[in-house]
Copies of this chain bind each other. A is one copy, B any other.
Amino acid sequence: MIEKILIANRGEIALRIQRACREMGIQSVAVHSIADADAMHVRLADESICIGPPPARESYLNTHAIISAATISNADAIHPGYGFLSENADFAAMVEEHDIAFIGPSPDHIRLMGDKIAAKKAVADVGIPILPGSDGEVTSLVDAQEIAMETGYPILIKAAAGGGGRGMKVAEDPAGLEEAYQFARTEAELAFGNDAIYIEKFLSQPRHIEVQVLADGHGNVVHLGERDCSLQRRHQKVLEEAPSPALNQTQRDAIGETVTQAVKAIGYKSAGTIEFLFEDGEFYFIEMNTRLQVEHPVTEMICGIDLVREMIRVAGGAPLGFKQSDIRFHGHAIECRINAEDPRTFNPSPGRIGDYHAPGGLGVRVDSGLYSGYAVPPYYDSMIAKLIVHATNRNECLMRLRRALEEFVIDGISTSIPLHQGLIGAPDFINGDYDIHWLETFVAELPGD
């Protein structure tokens, strides 16, 4: 039984985890940098410990400070949230060495999925569809040319250590291959200290669809349906929805079953997400995220399962309390990520919040640490709130989202609320007709000031 959890994160996700703790009767310890002393999750915490100065590498990424904080507060588990140390296998191992439960998968699974070449091999072996391309690392231009020809142009060269869209280069045709190859290797070396690259077929108009799983380490694995996260800008998700408007029930059931079996086969434990590109009815593996995701609430809304609670239960050794056949999906959910940024220029807009009023009523959920008078610090990610709406079907969900966005008041700083308001009025979005490039085009075509 876990009795006290240290939350090694900040912002809305720290508050999200803290709420789950409180609802489970578990004590929580907030750790924070000097810049976050007034944060909502710190104010609401049972205990709080300042672990360092504002820069994340000296506080939220400071493994020693976090482990020390867990030790002095007698926490018996650490939840890493997302970002920061959540996919750091060494940190997960360090936590376990201190006899503290890491609320997430094993260090081995984190490490495996962190290596994009190894991950692709591992999931292909257990039946996950992958993009055609190189069978692992490509070490010479000659090999690259041969593989690219077999795969068929255009192809994509990716860094083995990459992720989140970094370290990728497209070669449109044989003529462009050499330059792309050299460029990708150099960038991989510079960005990740590792010049290993691999080749994949390049899809021109894919959607980003991901499947959420939960596994208890006792052999029980369920999937909680998919999320469509195709609305991205600079590889950052902006709005997510579930279910995907692009899948039919047969496709949904098939990919869910495939993922469940694969996750069972690799012996995974905790919450995890397998991300796919989806084009012409086919799924192609991108990566597996071995952590809670920003967009997990849309899944919670449609399946009625509290993902953070389940992660904590599983980390405490409990088996899942339900089977796949117990899981029912209801209606439609959409999440808007609300950032402290100019909705046109995307320039960050930290600063002090004036009036703050969250929307309410049926089917509206707000996950945010904002409050009136709070100062958004300039040191961290600009996401300050998530607005999640749930309704019987997608159309009602869009109408409810529109209503909730109108009610949302965040004064004193610029936010991306107007961008979302524009988005939900766009006919393509209303029709569910978008791919991963759609939002960039939409943003580029927004009228200027």
Binding site for B on A (CB under 8 A): 15-16, 19, 22-25, 44, 297, 300, 304-306, 328, 330-331, 355-358, 360-368, 371-372, 391-392, 396, 399-400, 402-403, 406-407
Contact = CB atoms under 8 A, between A and B. Distances in A.
30 contacts: A16-B362, A19-B361, A22-B399, A22-B402, A22-B406, A23-B399, A23-B400, A23-B403, A24-B399, A297-B362, A300-B362, A304-B330, A304-B331, A305-B392, A306-B362, A306-B391, A306-B396, A328-B328, A328-B330, A330-B330, A355-B372, A356-B357, A357-B371, A358-B358, A358-B360, A360-B367, A360-B368, A361-B365, A361-B367, A364-B365
Given A19-B361, A24-B399, A360-B365, A407 B330 contact: no
Nearest to A23: B399
Contacts of A402: 22-23
A407 B400 CA distance: 24
B366 A360 contact: yes
Nearest to A361: B19
Instruction: Report which residue of A355, A360, A363, A367 has the largest number of chain B beta carbons within 10 angstroms of its beta carbon.
Output: A360
Contacts of A356: 357, 372
Given A23-B400, A44-B407, A304-B392, 4 more contacts: A304-B331, A355-B372, A357-B371, A361-B367
A22 to B, nearest CB: 4
A430 to B, nearest CB: 13
Main SS of chain A's interface residues? Answer: mixed
A25 B402 CA distance: 10
Contacts of A403: 19, 22-23
B19 A362 contact: yes
Contact of A365 (B328, B362, B400): B362
Given A19-B362, A362-B19, A364-B365, A399 B355 contact: no
Contacts of A364: 365
Contacts of A23: 391, 396, 399-400, 402-403
A15 B359 CA distance: 11
Contacts of A368: 360
A300 B392 CA distance: 11
Nearest to A305: B392
Contact of A16 (B44, B361, B400): B361
Contacts of A331: 304
A15 B362 CA distance: 11
Contacts of A357: 356, 371-372
A243 B200 CA distance: 53
Contacts of A400: 23
A406 B371 CA distance: 15
Contacts of A355: 372
A392 B20 CA distance: 13
Instruction: Report which residue of A23, A367, A372, A392 has the largest number of chain B beta carbons within 10 angstroms of its beta carbon.
Output: A23
Given A304-B331, A399-B23, A361 B15 contact: yes
